Chain A
Amino acid sequence: MSITYLEAIREAQAYLLRNDPSVYIYGQDVGAFGGAFKATKNLAKEFPGRVIDAPISEDAMVGSAVGAAIEGMRPIIEMQFADFSTVGFNQVVNQAATLFWRTEVPCPLTLRLPSGGTSGGGPFHSQCLESIYARFPGLIVCTPATVEDAYSMLIESVMLNDPVIFCEHKYLYFHLKADSLPQEALPIGKARIAREGRDMTIVTYSAMLHECLEAAAEMAQDGAEIEVVDLRTVKPIDTDTIIASVARTGRLLCVAEEWPWGGVNAEVISRVVAEGFNLLDAPPQRINAKDTPIPYHPDLWSVHRPTAQSIVATARQLLRN
C-alpha cells in the first residue's frame, strides 16, 4: 500500500471526525464535491452534517469557527488556497489569536492552508504565508514536509486547544508518497534531523525539505556531509535542535520558499547569531524565493523559488568560506 501526502490529510480528517464528535469541516466545495483538491473526498457522505460547504466568505468562515470553538467544537476550516486566507485574515489574527489571551477561553480551530507553488500556479495560487501568521501571538503554525507529518501533525493540530495555521504544501500533495501512516510521531514544536552531517546545517521546512535533501545528496558525491533540519513547526521554532546542529557543523544555511523579508529564515539566523554566535565558522546564509510576486510561466517559476541547484551553489560557496 502507498499513501500520498494529500491522502494522509484526508485520512487524518476522517480519523478526527470518527473519533471526536466536536470536529467538523467547513470550507468551499468541501461537501459532496470533496474539496478543490479532494482532501475531503467522501467525508460528507460518511459524516453527514459535519462536512459543510461554505459560501465564498473567508471572513465569515473563520469568524464562525471562532464562535463554534467557544461552544466547544474543534472546527477545521479549509481555505481553498492559502492565498485566499488573506480575506479572512482579520478573523484569524484579531479574533482567533486574541481570544485565549483576552478571556482564558481556548480557541481550538485549525485553518488548513493549501500553500506554496506548483507549476503554472501564478501569483494568486502559490503563496506561502506562514510567516505572516507566525508574526502574531496566539497562533501555532505547522508546515509538514512529509506524509507522516501531514497525518500526525494535522491530528495533533486539531486536538490542540489553540488556533493552528496548518500550511500543507500543494507541491507535495500528489508527488510525495509513504508506505503507510505513522503509528507514532514527534510532537508539534519539535524539529527533526532529516539527514545527518557534520559540515553544514541546512534549516528548512515544507516542500523545500525535498530540494534540500536532493542538494545534500548531490553534495555528498563531492564528500560534503550536510545536515538537514526539518523545522516541521515554524511557530514555535525549535531553537534548541537548530543550535545543537550548528554546534556540530559550524555552518548554517536557511532555505524557505516564502519571500525573503523578515521570514522564518531571518528568524532562525537571528536566533543562531544571538544565541550561538561563537558556534559559527562562517556568516550564516539564506535562500528564499525572489522578492517579486510568484510568476506564472514554469520557466520563470522554476528559478523564482529555491531549487536543489541554487541550494547546492550557495552551500558550496558557504563551505568555501
Chain B
Amino acid sequence: MNHQIDRKRFERAYRYMLTARILDERLAQLYRGGNVYGGVFLGKGQEALSVSVGISLDKGDVFAPLIRDGAGRLAFGETILDALRNCLGSPLGPMRARDGNVHRGKPREGYIPMISHLGANISVVNGALMAKRMKGETKQIGAACIGDGATSTGAFHEALNQAAIEKLPLLLVIANNQYAYSTPTSAQFACKELSLKAQGYGVSTHDVDGTDLKACMTTLEKAAALARAGEGPQLIVAELLRLCGHGEHDDAQYISPKIKASKVGRDCMDEAKKTLLKEYQYPEKDLDQWTTETTDEINQAIRQVQQEGGPDPFTHNWKALATRELCEPLGSSTL
C-alpha cells in the first residue's frame, strides 16, 4: 500500500493517541489508588486503529465507539475533561454521574453512548443514518466499533445485514485484539477470517495491520471515502493485541507469550513514534515536550474534576421519562 499521510495529520493522530495513552495510565493509577467507582477499561494497543476511525469522521457524522476507543473519542471531539468527569463520577460529565467509565457520549452531537450489551450500538448508528437519509442529509457517514468477541452476537449480524440491505454509509470497525476477555479467537469463531462474515452479507471489507498507524489511517480514510461516495457499508478488520487486561482488575495471564512476541503484539505507539522520528523527521525533543504538556493538561483536569465532587442524591432529579407527568410516583419509600 502506498502510504501518503500528510505530516500534520499524522502528528495530530499521534497526539490523540498519546493523550489517550496517558489518560489511560492515569486512570489505572487512580483505580489502583481506590479513586474510581467501578471498573477501568483501557485501550492500550488499540490507539492507532481507534484514532484512525475518529479522525476520518467529520462534524455531523455519527460515531459509536466502544470500550477501547479513548483515542477515537478524542479525535471525534471529546474533551479530556468530559472523559475524566465520566470516569470519576462528576455530575458535570456528559452522563451526569448516572452512568460511568466508557459509557459516555453526546447523542445530539452524533456521539452515541455505548450500553454494555455488546453489538447493540451498531443498529443505533444504522438508524441514525436512515434518519439522516430521510431528512435529506446525504453527506454524513457513521462508524461503529466492535471487538472480535462481539462479532458472535446476534445484534452484530442483524445490524450488519440491515446496513447492507439499506446500503447505509456505515463503517463497521472490528478490533481483533485476539481475545474477548479471556476467550481466544479460536473459541469465538471458526471461519478463517472475520472479514468472511461481511462477505456473507454482501459487504465490502478491508483488512489492516492495527499496529501500524499509517496503514490504519490510510485504510479508514479509504473506507470512509467509499461510504461517503454511496458505496454502502464497509467492514474493517484490524489485527492487533490488547496490551492490558480486559479491565484493570484483570492481570491477563492467559495471553500467550507467543502472541505477545508476534507482529500483532507490537505496541502501535512505539511504531508510530518510530515513523514520526525516522520518516517525518521530528526531533525527539518535540515528542518529549508533547508528553510533558499532555501529562500536565491531564493532571490539571484530574484536579479540577476531583474538586467538582459527586452528585447530590437528595436533590437529584429521579425521573426516567421526558414526559415527567407520566412518571410513576412510587419510589423506594412510600411513607
Q: Knowing A24-B134, A60-B123, A105-B107 touch, does A70 contact B326 (C-beta < 8 A)?
A: no
Q: Are B126 and A64 in contact (CB under 8 A)?
A: yes
Q: Tell me which of A58, A60, A94 contacts B161 (CB under 8 A).
A: A60
Q: Knowing A98-B115, A138-B320 touch, does A103 contact B105 (C-beta < 8 A)?
A: yes
Q: Tell me which of A55, A66, A104, A235 contacts B124 (CB under 8 A).
A: A66
Q: Are B127 and A103 in contact (CB under 8 A)?
A: no
CB nearest neighbor in A for B154 = A59
A105 to B94 CA separation, bound complex (whole angstroms): 11
**CB neighbours of B127 from chain A (8 A):** 63-71, 75
Question: Nearest Cβ in chain B — how far from A231, in angstroms?
Answer: 13
A274 to B335 CA separation, bound complex (whole angstroms): 10
Quick check: is A219 within 8 A (CB to CB) of the other chain? Answer: no
Q: Are A63 and B161 in contact (CB under 8 A)?
A: no
Q: Are A90 and B155 in contact (CB under 8 A)?
A: yes
Quick check: is A283 within 8 A (CB to CB) of the other chain? Answer: no
Q: Tell me which of B120, B126, B321 contacts A94 (CB under 8 A).
A: B120
Q: Knowing A67-B131, A70-B107, A94-B115 touch, does A59 contact B155 (C-beta < 8 A)?
A: yes
CB nearest neighbor in A for B106 = A103
Quick check: is A110 within 8 A (CB to CB) of the other chain? Answer: no
> On chain A, which size bracket covers the interface?
35 or more
Quick check: is B325 within 8 A (CB to CB) of the other chain? Answer: yes
Q: Are A67 and B124 in contact (CB under 8 A)?
A: yes
CB nearest neighbor in B for A62 = B123
A60 to B168 CA separation, bound complex (whole angstroms): 13
Quick check: is A101 within 8 A (CB to CB) of the other chain? Answer: yes
Quick check: is B302 within 8 A (CB to CB) of the other chain? Answer: no
A137 to B121 CA separation, bound complex (whole angstroms): 20
> On chain B, which size bracket covers the interface?
35 or more
Q: Are B323 and A60 in contact (CB under 8 A)?
A: no
A99 to B99 CA separation, bound complex (whole angstroms): 11
Interface 1/0 per residue, A259-294 and B, CB below 8 Å: 000000000000000100000000000000000000
Question: Nearest Cβ in chain B — how far from A112, in angstroms?
Answer: 17
**CB neighbours of B94 from chain A (8 A):** 103
A156-176: which residues lie under 8 A (CB-CB) from chain B? 160-162
**CB neighbours of B322 from chain A (8 A):** 100, 106-108, 160-162
Q: Tell me which of B99, B120, B155, B327 contacts A102 (CB under 8 A).
A: B99
Quick check: is B305 within 8 A (CB to CB) of the other chain? Answer: no
CB nearest neighbor in A for B132 = A71
Q: Are A100 and B320 in contact (CB under 8 A)?
A: yes
Question: Nearest Cβ in chain A — how far from B235, in angstroms?
Answer: 16
Quick check: is B113 within 8 A (CB to CB) of the other chain? Answer: yes
A261 to B158 CA separation, bound complex (whole angstroms): 32
CB nearest neighbor in B for A137 = B320
Q: Are B113 and A103 in contact (CB under 8 A)?
A: yes
A62 to B107 CA separation, bound complex (whole angstroms): 17
Q: Are A59 and B158 in contact (CB under 8 A)?
A: yes
Q: Tell me which of A60, A106, A140 contacts B162 (CB under 8 A).
A: A60
What are some 22 contacts across the A-B interface (CB < 8 A)? Answer: A24-B134, A55-B161, A59-B155, A60-B122, A64-B127, A64-B130, A67-B125, A67-B127, A71-B128, A71-B132, A73-B131, A90-B155, A94-B117, A100-B322, A101-B319, A103-B105, A104-B96, A105-B108, A106-B322, A138-B320, A140-B323, A239-B329
Residues of B bordering A, CB below 8 Å: 62, 94-96, 98-99, 103, 105-108, 112-113, 115-117, 120-132, 134-135, 154-155, 158-159, 161-162, 165, 319-323, 325-329, 334
Q: List 18 additional contacts besides A55-B161, A94-B120; criterion CB under 8 Å.
A: A54-B162, A59-B155, A60-B159, A63-B158, A64-B123, A67-B131, A68-B128, A70-B112, A71-B127, A71-B132, A72-B131, A90-B117, A140-B323, A161-B323, A189-B326, A236-B328, A237-B328, A274-B334
Q: What 4 pairs across the A-B complex have the smallest Cβ distances?
A: A67-B127, A63-B123, A64-B127, A71-B131
